[in-house]
Structure 1
């Protein structure tokens, strides 16, 4: 069955199943799968679920080299506490960074180009050897994510389509908090400091009371996605 038909069928079958079932199916039915994690504010939930299934699952962590020091510490601590033994740190090459952003100022005048250089391109190269990947996106985050499906077809530019799975698509912030509390999981240290969503340090601010969780990402710009998510070959955007 073509990949589009497979994902449509799976979305019907799993529409009332829990996230752990979705994740288990992803790991056992699509060949080589990678879990892509920012080790951000909510990442520990999906990482914990994955660790219950297979602690050797490939976890791709994109280090833009502009992350908060707290995120780097958190990544190491979470991987260790959950026993995740196959965390792969993905970075742009030294030569590429020197050629396109040798002063580390690209984010100031072209944040899309900075994300492409430091996130999208390294991730696409890392995913080239996998049959699909798992993301932590959720509908409640807003924008184009409001209609997010559990199973999607990922169509990156210039590459073959592959499956993309969003086990937490239907979860909201209270579901995440309850899971973290129930399993006594470590929280990202910046959450308590007013960062409900954590990206690169130069492009992330605190979110005010009542704001969307992603309000602090690229504040006062039209940008709202880093570019690692594609829809029909185009970068996914949220309003």
Structure 2
């Protein structure tokens, strides 16, 4: 996939990706989310960038920004087969509301489910492996052929994200985090200003929304992500961990 006409575009070998990402971070990181997105979509990674969205509690903000640049921007939603029905409803609602034309849903390989999760209870026995076959592997396949992808992660969300850059190397591609330095108040203000519909579960006490079996309501005063994998000491599904979530193979732990 093409890079923009930029002084750092020659650094396109996988071994040089951390240097390339650092250069982009220095050049564009503090220019604001819309500028980061426009530069990434229209210059740096023309026809080579995809957004990955969970269509969760904060997702409408970044999806709205992307829709203001190009409604046909590819967007991938990983349908794990374990999502709340409200999340699928919200996905369809936002697609229509924002006029997005590039959204596609990807699902786990049936062979993986048959061999490793025939009863659908792997989440209870081994949540890391469940995330691996239902999230990480489908996303790996969906990202094939792209040189960059857009994530909605933010530094305030977890200790694992406190030093999150705007551009980072992620395996053979670059990950773009336009909202890295935004806090919850900025996200909410943007959503209200642009009259974006909220995820229906937020009003029911779910400020962070993942798969139904592994997402709990959050009590007043708790960390917004406290309901994710409650009691398991787990804060990430694996998609955003080193080696792209292959911690179950012994790396990235």
Is 1:97 equivalent to 2:97 in the alignment?
no
Q: Are residue 5 (structure 1) and residue 19 (structure 2) matched? A: yes
Return closer, same or farther for 1:76/1:234 CA change in 2, 3 Å cut-off: closer
1:30 is the counterpart of 2:45: yes
| Structure 2 residue 55 is the aligned partner of structure 1 residue 39 | yes
Q: Which runs of 4+ in 1 moved over 4 A?
A: 232-236
Answering whether residue 236 of structure 2 is matched by residue 225 of structure 1, we say: yes
TM-score with structure 2 setting the length: 0.88
Instruction: Provide the residue aligned with 1:60 in structure 2.
Output: 76
Map residues 54-203 of structure 1 onto 2, 5 A cutoff.
Answer: 54-155=70-171, 161-203=172-214
Q: Greater RCO between the two (CA within 8 Å, min separation 6)?
A: 1
Taking structure 1 as reference, are residues 114 and 42 closer, same or farther at Cα in structure 2, changes over 3 Å only?
same
What's the secondary structure of 1:88's corresponding residue? Answer: strand
For the 8 Å contact 1:154–1:230, the answer to whether it is kept is no
Structure 2: gaps of 5 or more residues: 1-10, 248-253
- In 2: Cα distance, 1:93 partner to 1:3 partner: 30
Structure 1 unaligned regions, length at least 5:
156-160
The answer to whether the Cα contact below 8 Å between 2:71 and 2:99 also exists between their aligned partners in 1 is yes
Kept in 1, the 8 Å contact 2:52–2:75? The answer is yes
Distance 1:10 1:86, change over 3 A: same
For residue 158 of structure 1, what is the aligned residue in structure 2? Answer: none
1:34–1:59 CA contact under 8 A, matched in 2: yes
Contact 2:78 2:105 in 1 (8 A): yes
Question: What is the count of residue pairs matched by the alignment?
Answer: 231
Q: CA deviation at 1:233?
A: 5.8
Question: Separation in 1 of the partners of 2:118 and 2:242?
Answer: 31
| Counterpart for residue 8 of structure 2 | none
- The answer to whether the Cα contact below 8 Å between 2:239 and 2:245 also exists between their aligned partners in 1 is no
- Could you tell which deviates more after superposition, 21-30 or 198-207? 21-30
